[in-house]
Amino acid sequence: MTKYLRGVRWPLWTATATSLGILVTHSLDFLSQPPTYGSATSTPDPSLRAHSPSWTEAQGGRRPRLVICGSGWVARSLISLLDTRLCEVMVISERNHFLYTPLLPASCVGSVEHRSIVSPVREVLANRIRWDRRKWWRSGQPSRLSFLHARVDDIDPRQKRIYCSSAHTGARLQVDYDVAVLAVGSSNDDCGMPGVSEHCHFLKAADDARAIRRAVTLALEHAAEPFCTPQERSDLLHFCVVGAGPAGTEFAAELHDFLSEDAHRLYPAELLEDVRISVIQSGRMVLNSYDRRIAEHATEKFQRDGIQLLLNCRVVDVQPHQLTVLDKDTQQRRQVPYGVCVWTTGVAMQPLARRLAQRIGPDIQSNHHALIVDSHLAVLGDPSRSLYAAGDCSTLRMPEVYSHARELFEEADEDGDGRIQYYEFAHLLRSVRDRFPQLREHAPEMELRLRAARDTVTRDNFTEWLRDIDAHTTSLPATAQVAHQQGKYLAGLLNRRFECWPHPLDETDPSVCPAFVWHNLGATAYIGGETSVMEVPYLQPVYGVYVYWLWYGYSLLHQFSWRSRFLVAGDFIKTRLLGRDTSMF
């Protein structure tokens, strides 16, 4: 018995210590539990409810209030790196979860479940508060992070006021801010065509993916009815994807996997003879924003898989169960009946961003697709620099570099020999990279050119290079990668700003705060049959099964919570061992 007790002594001690630890942590949690973040009170306008001063304000220890509009990629990266001792954070979003969008196409056919790729905002905030308590418990400053489930309708930058409507009652709410970050993403682009919103599925949110999954299963079940005529069956089993960018291509690939792997197993073989997937694309290849070799590879793979490609074609009319497609080469129109149509032609400006742009004025906010921000992501036209925008709802304004060619050349030519040597070029890059962030982005390419020109460049060639840079400096792509990097950048900038609060920080001074620079880490896309393509700057494009595994591993690691990591890994094993689930709810 004693021997047995001696054997279990260490585990017993460990268990007791752990339980005590948990008990103490919970007691401290309870003791430091702050009162609820400001309740709503009535204002002169009886229909408008205003946010009352927060509890820290009431205690005289006012911290700046940061309001983050949206719960997407920008918001997630910003929250994870923000110093929450320095400010009070309120997240306002019409969606109460973060969504891992790169796996959204896979969730349309059940390769992963919808719930696996979403993380509730409250869970992320609660984890952050718990983490902060452990990290900063000595500082005695409890973190103040809260969530308001509402749609932001309008922002008044002059009064620093946000107007929103409750997601539950529709009640009009007013929230004041010291600093606000607009991260509301983009909306679906229906190309202004009537019928798209009514008859087609968009692919942007978890709800869209759920609706698509249901529609695909319904089409299969309906077509399997013995009363279906051959024509009805053929129309029902025609799945159309409009737009072959990354989202449309990945969805078509996932659908093909599902139909060839699971539908084959579950439905009669004669039924599946009628199944067709068509991709309608206005360009000449799928994935045409990628490297040409990748686009060709993906186009050939789709053709080999039997996916019908209607290339250089445009949808000109959408009716329930029928599209009219115009062939841009022959100018001929044809009717294309469909069972399910998924519309992925791109993104449009968020109504909220458009309203704000109108409020500021078209002379400053002249872009029709996104809010123009400066190199520190502050919205142009907000003199107080309290409103930032990042991610899909914003576009970066870069200063033109070509018009400064003469001045830059003279600055670089340290020995005055009329040529820039390699070391002079490196010095120049270091000194002006904050003024012209695009130079930093194009630095590797310029270095290659410099090497090719034997480490020296003349004034004329240098001017030509700068002209090329301006020509190729486009707005950043609307990707999670850009949104994630901008969220991280804003966290750093705001931490610095809140450290000196209430004193202003001259963030436009490059020595105080460098400008935002996007680091292009490449792009991947899934093209079916456990094959992905990957484009990495300055390297050869790569494709194959190992790229798929690399991409999948990366996706797994980058989920927004540990819960999602486990669930996505579980879904992956489940799909491979047992197949996809086709039940409908």
Ligand X SMILES: Cc1cc2nc3c(=O)[nH]c(=O)nc-3n(C[C@H](O)[C@H](O)[C@H](O)COP(=O)(O)OP(=O)(O)OC[C@H]3O[C@@H](n4cnc5c(N)ncnc54)[C@H](O)[C@@H]3O)c2cc1C
Residues that bind ligand X (CB under 6 A): 69-74, 92-95, 101-102, 104-105, 151-152, 183-185, 203-204, 246-247, 350, 352, 391-393, 478-481, 483
The residues facing 340 across adjacent strands are 239
CA 100, CA 77: separation in Å to the nearest integer?
Answer: 12
18 burial (CB, 10 Å; 0-12 / 13-18 / 19+) is: exposed
Instruction: For the CB of residue 149, give the shortest distance to ligand X in the complex, in Å.
Output: 9
Q: Length of the chain in residues, anyone?
A: 585
CA 535, CA 531: separation in Å to the nearest integer?
Answer: 14
DSSP assignment of 333-352 equals EEEEE-SEEEE---EE--HH
Q: Which is nearer to ligand X, 92 or 263 (CB)?
A: 92
Instruction: For the CB of residue 349, give the shortest distance to ligand X in the complex, in Å.
Output: 11
Rg (alpha carbons) of the chain, rounded to whole number: 27
The two three-digit tokens of residue 551, written as one number = 């991409």
Instruction: For the CB of residue 561, give the shortest distance to ligand X in the complex, in Å.
Output: 16
Q: Which is nearer to ligand X, 333 or 519 (CB)?
A: 519
Q: Which is nearer to ligand X, 161 or 459 (CB)?
A: 161
- Angle at the Cα of 16 from the Cα atoms of 14 and 21, rounded to 5 degrees: 95
Instruction: For the CB of residue 308, give the shortest distance to ligand X in the complex, in Å.
Output: 22
Instruction: For the CB of residue 41, give the shortest distance to ligand X in the complex, in Å.
Output: 22
Q: Which is nearer to ligand X, 74 or 513 (CB)?
A: 74
Q: Which is nearer to ligand X, 49 or 151 (CB)?
A: 151
Residue tagged 């250089």 (tokens) = 312
Instruction: For the CB of residue 28, give the shortest distance to ligand X in the complex, in Å.
Output: 32
> In sequence order, which ranges of 453-561 are alpha helices (DSSP H)?
459-472, 480-499, 545-557
Instruction: For the CB of residue 526, give the shortest distance to ligand X in the complex, in Å.
Output: 9
The residues facing 318 across adjacent strands are 323
Q: Helix or strand or coil: residue 11?
A: helix
Q: Which is nearer to ligand X, 250 or 507 (CB)?
A: 250
Q: Which is nearer to ligand X, 285 or 393 (CB)?
A: 393
Spatial CB neighbours of 160, under 8 Å, sequence gap ≥ 6: 176, 177, 178, 180, 384, 386
Q: Helix or strand or coil: residue 439?
A: helix
